[in-house]
Structure 1
Amino acid sequence: MLSDWLQKHTPRLVTPQCHLCKLDKCPSDTHPRWCNSCLKLFEPVPRCQRCGLKTVTTVEQCGECLSKPPPWHRLYCVGDYTFPTAGYIHQMKYADKFWFARDLSKLLASRIEEPASLLTSVPLHWQRYIHRGFNQSELLARYTAHELNIKNAVLFRRTRSTVSQQGLTKSARKSNLKGAFVLKNLNFSATDYSHVAIIDDVVTTGSTVYQLCQLLLEVGVKRIDIYCICRTPEPSG
């Protein structure tokens, strides 16, 4: 009986499966989590390189960025907040599957052509940190910095708790975050790190990273990039 069970289940135990399609992975598969077929679901699409939103063809700056440029220089992302990326973000944040940060970071790092010399993350308020047990952006920063072989540091602190940004309009998001962050590392020197990247799991209106960019610009940082897993079109309003 035991030998029959082993013959039936041993191949399944030693042969890794693709996390999406559940089929056995092949030796030629390039990612430890997904097979090459499912990996195509994460393939990049044309975007504005400045704001990261979808465009017909890849452009350095879309019309909106030309008229109202954001404070950052370049935005890198894996995709929009849709299947399958959205599911992994949701599981990572709300189902305690924090190990997905490593897999998503590997995808993100493969898109970044000119890495910053320093990578930092969007901070959580301490109350939310205690409730969740970890900061997903900080985890993404740690793994992405490792993939890119660059330094990772915590530069910001959240000074007050705010309501969730999800579902708010662009103007409401901006008002919600006003004065919510400060520069934590007072010894940070823009002379040593003139090119800094900020990472977050999802960027929608950009209100959060906008506030953090202003803090870096005030201390003399010359170039700021944004790294994120999902770049989602902003809601109307």
Structure 2
Amino acid sequence: MAISLPLLRRLRAPMGLLHGLADLVFAPRCLACGGPAGPRPPVCGRCRSRLPPPPPPLCPRCGFPRLRTGRDPGARCQECADWPIGIRLARSACLLRGPAAALVHQLKYRGWRALAGVMAERMAGVPLPGDVRRETGLIVPVPTTRRRVRERGYNQAGLLARALAESTRRTAFCALSRAAAGTSQTTLQPAARRANVAGAFSLAADRRHDIAGEHLLLVDDVLTTGATVTACAEVLVGAGARCVSVLTFARAPGRLRLD
């Protein structure tokens, strides 16, 4: 049945309203704040702009912000004082607060795999010394346990490593395995964190030849005390890697005073 032009004109306004409501209800939501994601889902432009890098000056080795810590900027950094010599440096794309903390939570616990690309994009923009950029052609994700992989369906560090490798033309591969976990690292103090991961990591089968003499880029979602990455680095260097640099999406502020 033909619809007259006047009727179409009368229907146009309510149909436009319905389309607007549909866009409002079904538009992609930002996974950090819950608002409209805008033209670059799954994270809105406002939340993307609120992922600032750690404020300088940074420790040249571990990348911890040394501004307003109450310590002499020239003093030895206590965050990495006991790190093994095999770690070249560590850097993070942003501090673990605000939208960054929300993104880490959504990727790790809520199954939002699409966030790995957004987070890896920010990691790819972290300034690195020339030798680290040139030499780290191999990316190794921090492993999780088989039980965690079964529960979540993935290792979040593995997703970040693959996305970062794709965007930076590196190669990502699993060189480490992790034994069954005890207490979650998120609930522990620094000394307990180190004890909790002691002996937890081992070299994956048939990977010794792949890492021999290499400067590896170890990737994880968050760097807190460094207990996990130092345990991983000790295994990799002990198995023949020349050294390890660490890159994470976020850095836990720790004792840093941000006010």
- Give the TM-score of the pair, scaled to structure 2: 0.75
Structure-2 residue corresponding to 1:107 = 122
Corresponding position: 1:49 with 2:60: yes
User: How far has the Cα of 1:42 moved from its partner?
Assistant: 1.5
Counterpart of 2:106 in structure 1: which amino acid? Q
Q: Whole-Å Cα distance in 1 between the matches of residues 80 and 43 of structure 2?
A: 41
Query: Within 5 Å, which residues of 2 pair with 1:185-204?
Result: 185-189=205-209, 194-204=214-224
Query: Within 5 Å, which residues of 2 pair with 1:77-92?
Result: 77-92=92-107
Corresponding position: 1:164 with 2:175: no
Structure-1 residue corresponding to 2:225 = 205
1:8 to 8, 11, 20: 20
Query: Deviations along 1:94-124, whole A, 9 cap, x unmatched?
Result: 1111211111111111114343110011111
Counterpart of 2:243 in structure 1: which amino acid? R
Counterpart of 2:76 in structure 1: which amino acid? G
Structure-2 residue corresponding to 1:68 = 81
Counterpart of 1:51 in structure 2: which amino acid? C
**Which ranges in structure 2 are unaligned for 5 or more consecutive residues?**
1-10
Query: Deviations along 1:166-218, whole A, 9 cap, x unmatched?
Result: 12111111111111111004343367652101111111111111111011111
Query: Deviations along 1:156-175, whole A, 9 cap, x unmatched?
Result: 01123221011211111111
The two structures, once aligned, show a CA RMSD in angstroms of 3.2
Question: Is 1:108–1:229's contact at 8 Å kept on the other side of the alignment?
Answer: yes
Counterpart of 2:118 in structure 1: which amino acid? D
1:183 to 199, 203, 206: 203
Counterpart of 2:83 in structure 1: which amino acid? P
Question: Is 2:213–2:240's contact at 8 Å kept on the other side of the alignment?
Answer: no
Q: Whole-Å Cα distance in 2 between the matches of residues 24 and 178 of structure 1?
A: 41
Question: Is 2:212–2:239's contact at 8 Å kept on the other side of the alignment?
Answer: no
Q: Whole-Å Cα distance in 2 between the matches of residues 12 and 193 of structure 1?
A: 54
Q: Whole-Å Cα distance in 2 between the matches of residues 22 and 208 of structure 1?
A: 34
Structure 1 range deviating more: 87-96 or 64-73: 64-73
Question: SS of the counterpart of 1:42?
Answer: coil
Query: Deviations along 1:59-109, whole A, 9 cap, x unmatched?
Result: x99622698262311212122211010001111111111211111111111
Question: SS of the counterpart of 2:174?
Answer: coil
Over the matched positions of the two proteins, sequence identity in percent amounts to 25
Corresponding position: 1:220 with 2:220: no
User: How far has the Cα of 1:51 moved from its partner?
Assistant: 1.2
Counterpart of 1:3 in structure 2: which amino acid? M
The alignment covers a number of residue pairs equal to: 229
Corresponding position: 1:173 with 2:185: no
Question: SS of the counterpart of 1:229?
Answer: strand
Query: Deviations along 1:129-177, whole A, 9 cap, x unmatched?
Result: 1112211010011101111110111000112322101121111111111
- Give the TM-score of the pair, scaled to structure 1: 0.81
Corresponding position: 1:148 with 2:171: no
Question: Is 1:21–1:38's contact at 8 Å kept on the other side of the alignment?
Answer: no
Counterpart of 2:52 in structure 1: which amino acid? E
1:40 to 28, 49, 53: 49
Question: SS of the counterpart of 2:113?
Answer: coil
Q: Whole-Å Cα distance in 2 between the matches of residues 66 and 139 of structure 1?
A: 27
Q: 1:224 to 1:33 in 2, by over 3 A?
A: same
**Which ranges in structure 1 are unaligned for 5 or more consecutive residues?**
none
Question: SS of the counterpart of 2:83?
Answer: coil
